[in-house]
Amino acid sequence: MLLNKTRLQNAVDAAALSSAVALDQGKTQQIAKQEGIATLAGALSAGDFSQLDDAIELTGLNYATADLSSQITVEFSLQPDPFIPTTDPTADYVRILVDEVNLASYLARIMTFDKWISASAVSGPSTAIDFCNTNVLPMTVCLCDTADCAAAGDSASFGYPHETLMAMKLASSNDTDIGPGNFRLLDFEGLNGANGIRDAFAGKYTGEEFCFSKTDDSVVTKPGNNVGPTAQGLNTRLGIYLGQFKKESDTYPRDKSTCVGEELAVTEDRDVIYEADKNSDAPVDVNDEPGGLYRHDDYDNDYSNASASSACLAGGWDGTGGDRRREFAIVVSDCSGEDTGKSSLPFEGFACFFMSQEVVQTGTDNFVIGEFLNDCTGNGSPSYDTSDNDGPYQIVLYRNPSNKDS
């Protein structure tokens, strides 16, 4: 009986989630009922659920009322707790109850014991999601929506094509339009002047959670020109120690792999080219030509086969170095309406980036060259702040006060 009660609870949980997803997609409450019951029927059709399937009648249901049958009730509410049934079409919380399920009794009859079970579940949108990352640098790039971004059909996130070599410009406070591919510093709590910027880009805060959501203004840009400190901090990841870092190689170890391969340069149009081709009229597209590049796939392979002898591992690998220091997350924000100075930008997510070589200087500009890997925002966690109304959320299960097993 207890085993079947657990199975029934799981089936009803799935049904409630299915109904809540249907509501979230803008479907009517009647359609949401039908999709929830379809999920319930699918669960009951599994071989282990045969006793429940025999005991629950799913034919002849009346979807026009809350009581679909004498056993099944589906109700909607404007809030999860207290759950107050309503016919308001904007209600986006659903409760499904399956009651009076009489399981077959054998020896239990001798003790005049009947096996009646029930289950209920409540589902709907969570409070706003806080997205957190423990390997994020205090910098933001804009959503990419220009001709320089991913072409239609490309594998991309935030408008940036995956696994494509690109150059991100280190923007200063004098850049009036940071634009896609430029990044602006963020004012993380605890950063203190140029030294704080150096330390942050060298990885001082790796392991600490930095959380954002679209419902707040916590993505705040940091004014000031810190291009030099930013470059110094990033270059420690490749074992290049300048300025104060000459004495801090133990604090900020190089990546286990400092392999670079053929050096790359950046043109005035921000095209990434081979260093040897920078004066050529027709430079080779490095994303189409393998050449002697060291790409993220090579980096991954070296971490998987550290004892192997690849072209770059000889002298480029240090088993005592830091793990995957050349991978990090950056914040993506919506820069429409962005102004100079200290600005609040809507948070859009985290993008993971691979640093392929040391920071490149072109004229008065510095560039970080590497691969935009993917969207690594993750699922996030509900904020549990009941005042949250907008922003990203998940469809979740809530505890039903009338059913301690929910």
d(CA 406, CA 393): 21
Vertex 161: Cα angle to 158 and 162 (nearest 5): 100
Question: Which of 220, 216, 170 minimizes the C-alpha distance to 191?
Answer: 220
Looking at residue 202, its pLDDT comes to 93
Query: Which stretches does DSSP call E strand in 108-178?
Result: 116-125, 129-133, 136-142, 156-157, 160-161, 164-170
Name the phi and psi angles at 23, rounded to 5. -60, -40
pLDDT band per the 50, 70, 90 thresholds, residue 215: low
d(CA 167, CA 186): 19
SS3 (DSSP) at 107: helix
Provide mean pLDDT across the span 195-201.
86
Question: Which of 59, 67, 62, 73 minimizes the C-alpha distance to 118?
Answer: 73
152 pLDDT more than 60: no
Cβ distance 363 to 89 under 8 Å? Answer: no
Least confident piece of the model among 129-138, 194-203, 268-277, 338-347: 338-347
Per-residue model confidence as pLDDT tens digits over 108-138 = 556 666 678 889 999 998 877 788 888 998 8
Query: Which stretches does DSSP call E strand in 201-315?
Result: 210-212, 264-266, 272-274
Residues 6+ apart with CB under 8 A from 198: 229, 230, 232, 233, 243, 244, 245
CA distances from 287 to 16, 156, 173, 337 (A): 47, 15, 31, 32
pLDDT band per the 50, 70, 90 thresholds, residue 224: low
Provide mean pLDDT across the span 65-90.
93
d(CA 38, CA 24): 17
Q: How many percent of the chain have pLDDT more than 90?
A: 30
Question: Which of 232, 228, 206 minimizes the C-alpha distance to 325?
Answer: 206
404 pLDDT more than 80: no
Q: How many percent of the chain have pLDDT more than 70?
A: 83
Per-residue model confidence as pLDDT tens digits over 332-350 = 888 876 655 677 888 888 9
Per-residue model confidence as pLDDT tens digits over 234-249 = 999 999 998 888 888 8
Looking at residue 241, its pLDDT comes to 93
Can you name the residues that pair with 93 across neighbouring β-strands? 77
SS3 (DSSP) at 34: helix
pLDDT, the chain, mean: 83
SS3 (DSSP) at 13: helix
268 pLDDT more than 50: yes
pLDDT band per the 50, 70, 90 thresholds, residue 101: confident
d(CA 258, CA 232): 16
Provide mean pLDDT across the span 295-320.
77
Least confident piece of the model among 248-252, 301-305, 314-318: 314-318
Q: What's the token pair of residue 297?
A: 């796939």
pLDDT band per the 50, 70, 90 thresholds, residue 279: confident
d(CA 401, CA 73): 16
Per-state percent for the chain, helix, strand, coil, to nearest 5: 25, 25, 50
pLDDT band per the 50, 70, 90 thresholds, residue 176: very low
Residue 388 amino acid letter: D
252 pLDDT more than 60: yes
Question: Which of 325, 119, 347, 36 minimizes the C-alpha distance to 214?
Answer: 347
228 pLDDT more than 70: yes
Instruction: Considering only residues 346 and 17, tell me which one the structure prediction assigns the higher pLDDT.
Output: 17
